[in-house]
Structure 1
């Protein structure tokens, strides 16, 4: 962290943006192929041209700029720039191919790459439009940096720092490159499994592909205006729920589960995920029924289970219309969305591990009342001792998360939106969940679209990197005596 006292090297950041653009140009080639298959040749030309320009820009940046070893500060900046930059690149062909206003196209791409699912879709979207935004969610779910690590970056200090900034220091393989490739393999296997489940349910192939990409990435984009509720029955919502849960469990856990299946149940985050799903379902049913019992509670149960899991995993599919819900129901779903799934999964929100740490801290405070003052009682999650620095980072993130949520909701209320809907919509964006009560529409004010874009990006990169990106000290060395600003180039 002390490295941030000196400014970043913008040339190093630009060179690795070149790596990023080269990989993302390949991402844009998939909609090109889909456009040909779906018979939308004009869109294929647009996406193909965008892919060529993106690849050319990335190649040029790599050739012109010298090679650098990334410091942690540059890796942080690259993490902060990845999602807004790639959203910008993908918004250009989307805007040209659909005729959407550019801000709406950018919103849609931010929502896709951050795996949120809020939408400003045009009145008559094409099949390519539905596929492309689901594809972006799938890419955003695995993380673009994983693709860069797995394809272009050679093993070394730079690879380690990019991995550390995006995923922490835990690894399931000896090197970060092999870890990234293993995580990618797990993601691909889960995707194929989810696709097979949806095809087994009888869902048409095109719909199954789009919903698989959106469910395993916990994204929530659907090909139907009524989301999963448009399919009816029990089987499809149930299998979608299974896919959402698979995407909300830490990918690093799956290789361990193959060796020892009991690892899944012993993982505290998984236990909290299922426990909160059960408890949340019971509470959500009570809010739906207004606190009254009766046989209708059993009829509400399937929709309640689906909606709670969808909200908790940050997926954003729905089987019911959320707009008519009571303020109590909306408030409860808002809280569930803010929790999110496991660290190391595709979900957003505060994350279950941070919630577990806070719960353990509360328990520890009460235990301390019955122990001698000199007793040593470390804060633990399972057998893992939580380092004080890690705890400070967790509490800082939670406080920043709540501050961003309150500020964003206030802007919505300033525009006349009632508090329940304002909190729900901003909670959905910040948790990258994607559920909506109908506030997010193409006709909403541009400022509110930008607020939701900022919330989605902050939720995906977990706030701190984007805040560091905006700090003057990140780019300039500030002399405290004179207030003079100097860039890293001037310092050199």
Structure 2
């Protein structure tokens, strides 16, 4: 079996990473323009120089190497490399323009491109930093891969494999190129809707743009140190909640809103997602009622549940004051997350439905003959055996990473509930913090959260692939002689 294993073609991976570097140049130009608008020439130079360097390197790679047809394993490796490399390129000008250490800037950049929202940034870092961070989340939400597919890569097998590695099998158009362009249009439209909602609710234009970027990408970075708690009244939290919900619903459903609205509202995953919010709100309200502080039913209770389950990560109050029971409800919401095909993180509602379907089938088969076939189906989607294997593998790895990461936190003196809360927030790309994540946090714990955020955004298996020797090197064949006894 091992003799049949072939590693990835490193030249093919390099070729498409060259495409990516060219595309990422345009991502870096936007904060450069923002820096010029804010008269921060120094920051503009740093972002501009990084953009030029990325474009130059990408162009050299692109022109030097011939065209390649990608295999699935190579597409997975490219998707796994894109996010940590994007974070590194973003961290360089961020560190130079703010005075943050490169490692802290990398933490911030990883939190941005993975749409997490955990932060170790100091106070008063300036509007350019706040915009660049929000912009990073918006780009990370839809994925730089979509930009590469939409603009640079021609239709074909390679485009399909890159798309599948990042978005799975969901398609709303005949080709993946037309699908990515439609998804991009949907993303832009709901971003504009979010900006309008926030402006109407009383936010400034700058805050509206930054928060809209982070809402639709379900990222959670805020321009205010106390997040949404800095704003008075219920209008802004309501606008934020609606925007986060728009980002956490599968983008595949949106085109049906105009053509077949009944298909949108009858979607099983969406209905269970909304039911989960209702149940979570009741449970959270029950736990909050037992605590010794006043809270607003809409602004604190419903808002915080929506923020957790959409994996947006905004907050209206200091979560470190919550009881163990209240933290447990939020942890459970963060674990589940939003819909497949959305910008939300977490396990996803579809996987939870599939898991319950598997359990139901196992129990059902106890009462049926062994030769009886019991197919599994969620709406029109027939569940294949490969999907079940992938689900079991994902759940096992997710649990293992969660336990190991939380244990490392506990070794550094963090209590159990806070350790699980912080790690769950990173692994589900949420961004809520119980007060543990800060600039003063030990290097090891920052590194753990960085790895967890990458695992959460890339969905574990592709990231593991790049660290497996067999991905890059062919295993040497060993000749074994058979000895007769």
List runs of 5+ in structure 1 lacking aligned partners: 484-492
Residue 306 of structure 1 corresponds to which residue in structure 2?
A: 303
Equivalent residues of 2:291, 2:323 under 8 A apart: no
Structure-1 separation of matches of 2:266 and 2:238: 24
Q: How does 1:50-449 map to 2 (within 5 A)?
A: 50-290=50-290, 299-371=296-368, 373-449=370-446
**CA 1:367–1:205 in structure 2 vs 1: closer, same or farther (change >3 Å)?**
same
**CA 1:327–1:6 in structure 2 vs 1: closer, same or farther (change >3 Å)?**
same
Look up the SS of the partner of 1:172 in the other structure.
Answer: coil
Which stretch of the first structure deviates more once superposed, 65-74 or 91-100? Answer: 65-74
Look up the SS of the partner of 1:178 in the other structure.
Answer: helix
Residue 39 of structure 1 corresponds to which residue in structure 2?
A: 39
Residue 483 of structure 2 corresponds to which residue in structure 1?
A: none
Equivalent residues of 2:219, 2:313 under 8 A apart: yes
RMSD between aligned residues: 1.9
Structure-2 separation of matches of 1:3 and 1:217: 43
Show CA shifts across 1:280-305 (max 9, x none). Answer: 0011111222399xxx9984454111
Structure-2 separation of matches of 1:282 and 1:291: 15
Structure-2 separation of matches of 1:301 and 1:33: 38
Equivalent residues of 2:3, 2:477 under 8 A apart: no
Which stretch of the first structure deviates more once superposed, 116-125 or 304-313? Answer: 116-125
Structure-2 separation of matches of 1:323 and 1:104: 22
**CA 1:371–1:298 in structure 2 vs 1: closer, same or farther (change >3 Å)?**
farther
Equivalent residues of 1:4, 1:474 under 8 A apart: no
Q: 1:373, CA displacement in angstroms?
A: 5.0
Equivalent residues of 2:234, 2:298 under 8 A apart: no
Equivalent residues of 2:170, 2:252 under 8 A apart: no
Look up the SS of the partner of 2:173 in the other structure.
Answer: coil
Q: 1:369, CA displacement in angstroms?
A: 4.7
Q: 1:385, CA displacement in angstroms?
A: 1.7
Q: 1:171, CA displacement in angstroms?
A: 1.3
List runs of 5+ in structure 2 lacking aligned partners: 481-485
Q: 1:479, CA displacement in angstroms?
A: 2.0
Structure-2 separation of matches of 1:113 and 1:264: 29
Normalising to structure 2: TM-score of the pair? 0.96
**CA 1:242–1:455 in structure 2 vs 1: closer, same or farther (change >3 Å)?**
same
Residue 470 of structure 2 corresponds to which residue in structure 1?
A: 473
Normalising to structure 1: TM-score of the pair? 0.94
Look up the SS of the partner of 1:470 in the other structure.
Answer: coil
Structure-1 separation of matches of 2:263 and 2:317: 35
Look up the SS of the partner of 1:478 in the other structure.
Answer: coil
Number of residue-to-residue matches in the alignment: 480
Structure-1 separation of matches of 2:470 and 2:354: 32
Equivalent residues of 1:4, 1:73 under 8 A apart: no
Equivalent residues of 1:424, 1:436 under 8 A apart: yes
**CA 1:301–1:124 in structure 2 vs 1: closer, same or farther (change >3 Å)?**
closer
Equivalent residues of 2:18, 2:62 under 8 A apart: yes
Show CA shifts across 1:11-46 (max 9, x none). Answer: 111111110010101100000110111121111111
Look up the SS of the partner of 2:474 in the other structure.
Answer: strand
Q: 1:182, CA displacement in angstroms?
A: 0.6
Equivalent residues of 1:83, 1:113 under 8 A apart: yes
Q: 1:450, CA displacement in angstroms?
A: 0.7
